[in-house]
Homo-oligomer: A and B are copies of this chain.
Amino acid sequence: MPEPKQTKASPTMADTDIAIVRIAPETSFKNKAYEALKEAILKMDIYATPEPVMLDERALSERLGVSRTPIREAIAMLEQDGFVKTVPRRGIVVVRRTKAEIVDMIRAWAALESMAARLITTTARKKDISSLRDFFKDFSDDRLPQDNIEEYSRANIAFHQALISLSESPVLVDLTNDLLLHVRGYRQLTIGRKDRTATSLPEHLGIIEALEARDTELAEKRARDHTLGLAAYVEAHGQELFT
């Protein structure tokens, strides 16, 4: 076989790449509903009210202007994610996590993040590691994290996600993102808590330094201990959050 080059077959079609972009796949109602409901669930403060939050298929289908079918499929997906639980002939309830579950999730998060740190020391570029500091460049002795908790909390989350991303491990990224979605149900109340914020920034910098030094074991340990610290904190001080 003479291998007729990699060019396309038909000579009738000009090979001049007129920028044709794969036409918009027009995501389905099912996926739209999934995204909409997921966002709505994450946005609401599930732990504010003592009584369980219920969803109604028919009401949702009206509000979103679609039939029940795509709604039900979206609900099925959310149930897989662990955000809701449908009880036959009863209703769909938004799942509330117990303190123990949240602590458990944070521990798993710690495990994944420490592995990410480990991988980063062997593969990431110095430049990318150093740029992790940028998340905290708006904070200093003149502008303490404790005094801007809301903002610091966002930077905190962004830092952790960027850190994991540096591992270039899709699995670690996806798993931690899922965990974070659940943990974040606590609108900053935990992660951005004032007394922890003070120690948080130095620990982050310590992690970055270990990564830059390519000290695999140290980076892993610092990443792990930092997040386990959060777990211990929630376990010790998170009572009031769970009615």
Contacts and interface: CB of A to CB of B under 8 A. Distances in A.
Overall SS of chain A's interface:
helix
B73 A169 contact: no
B104 A171 contact: yes
Contacts of A69: 69
A41 interface: no
A175 B76 contact: no
A110 B104 contact: no
A28 B88 contact: yes
Interface in A125-159: none
A88 to B, nearest CB: 7
The interface centre, meaning the residue of A30, A76, A105, A119 with most chain B CB atoms within 10 A of its CB, is A76
A112 interface: yes
B172 A101 contact: no
Interface string A205-239: 00000000000000000000000000000000000
A175 to B, nearest CB: 6
Interface stretch (A50-58, A77-85, A193-201): A77-85
Contacts of A111: 111-112, 114-115, 172
A99 to B, nearest CB: 13
Nearest to A112: B111
A72 interface: yes
A11 interface: no
Contacts of A115: 107-108, 110-111
Interface string A166-178: 0001111001000
A25 interface: yes
A128 to B, nearest CB: 19
The interface centre, meaning the residue of A28, A79, A108, A111 with most chain B CB atoms within 10 A of its CB, is A111
A202 to B, nearest CB: 23
Contact of A88 (B25, B80, B119, B179): B25
